[in-house]
Homo-oligomer: A and B are copies of this chain.
Amino acid sequence: MFTLAEENYLKNIYHLQTENSEGVSTNLIAESLQTKPSSVTDMVKKLAAKNMLLHKPYKGVSLTEKGKKVASNIIRKHRLWEVFLVEKLNFQWDEVHEIAEQLEHIQSDELIKRMDAFLDFPDFDPHGDPIPDENGNIKVTEKKLLSELKKNQRGVIVGVKESGSDFLKFLDKRKINIGTKIKVLGKEFFDGSMIIQVRNEQFFISKKIAKNLFIQISEHV
């Protein structure tokens, strides 16, 4: 149905669209896909002809409903595969992206259906990003940055903002993962640092780290 290049364009445009709200520019797509704006123009024409997106020349592009569905399905596959790699094959969560980048293009609805069941229908990938369902719907949770929490608030780590390899390793060393429960023990005003409790241990968390962790706040405590 779609070539590899087409799928990658759709996926990237989808991401850019959710980040930028307005119509996505040719230059932005080119940058995100590591290619040239002229190449983008060509591909955008092709995808517009397939009714995957609307293209007003010199204005931006925006995905059609069809286009969004195709794109979110690729993202669904990517994130399900990431769960598989971490949960079943014991990869670290910072090692799985490249491989999922390939696996997301495998074409088989049945495979994804069974993989989803095999993984017990996860809602989030190992980085805390939501996994769209078959219709492209995403489970939204109200998440705050750790830095916004107050003393004595509790919650569960549900995601990271920017997942650089160094950062992921920092967390991994301390066995801090998606799903890890935390409690804020104290906060310093002068540098924004925090002390948090994780299991039986206490960790010092710099402002930089605290601004990079998404927390789902526990309601009843």
Measuring CB to CB, which residues of chain A are less than 8 angstroms from any residue of chain B? Answer: 85, 88-91, 95, 98-99, 102-103, 106-108, 110-111, 114-115, 118
Instruction: Tell me the number of copies of this protein.
Output: 2
In terms of DSSP, what is the predominant structure of the interface of chain A?
helix
Considering the chains assembled together, what is the distance between the CA atoms of A98 and B111 in angstroms? 11
Contact B98 A108 (CB under 8 A): yes
* Chain B, residue nearest A91 (CB): B114
A89-B115, A118-B89 given as contacts; is B103 within 8 A of A106 (CB)?
yes
**Which of A90, A107, A108 has the most C-beta atoms of chain B within 10 angstroms of its own C-beta?**
A108
Considering the chains assembled together, what is the distance between the CA atoms of A118 and B84 in angstroms? 12
The minimal Cβ–Cβ distance linking A7 to chain B, given in whole angstroms, is 13
Considering the chains assembled together, what is the distance between the CA atoms of A89 and B102 in angstroms? 20
Contact B102 A107 (CB under 8 A): yes
For residue A99, which residues in chain B have a CB less than 8 angstroms away from its CB?
A: 106, 108, 111
For residue A111, which residues in chain B have a CB less than 8 angstroms away from its CB?
A: 85, 89, 99
* Chain B, residue nearest A118 (CB): B89
Contact B114 A89 (CB under 8 A): yes
Considering the chains assembled together, what is the distance between the CA atoms of A89 and B85 in angstroms? 15
Residue among B91, B103, B106, B118 making CB contact with A88, cutoff 8 Å: B118
* Chain B, residue nearest A98 (CB): B108
Considering the chains assembled together, what is the distance between the CA atoms of A106 and B88 in angstroms? 17
The minimal Cβ–Cβ distance linking A45 to chain B, given in whole angstroms, is 25
For residue A98, which residues in chain B have a CB less than 8 angstroms away from its CB?
A: 108
10 closest A-B pairs by CB: A89-B114, A99-B108, A102-B106, A99-B111, A89-B118, A103-B106, A88-B118, A102-B107, A89-B115, A90-B114
Given contacts A102-B108, A103-B106, list 9 more A-B pairs with CB under 8 A: A85-B111, A88-B118, A89-B114, A89-B118, A90-B114, A91-B110, A91-B114, A95-B110, A103-B103
For residue A115, which residues in chain B have a CB less than 8 angstroms away from its CB?
A: 89
For residue A88, which residues in chain B have a CB less than 8 angstroms away from its CB?
A: 118
* Chain B, residue nearest A95 (CB): B110
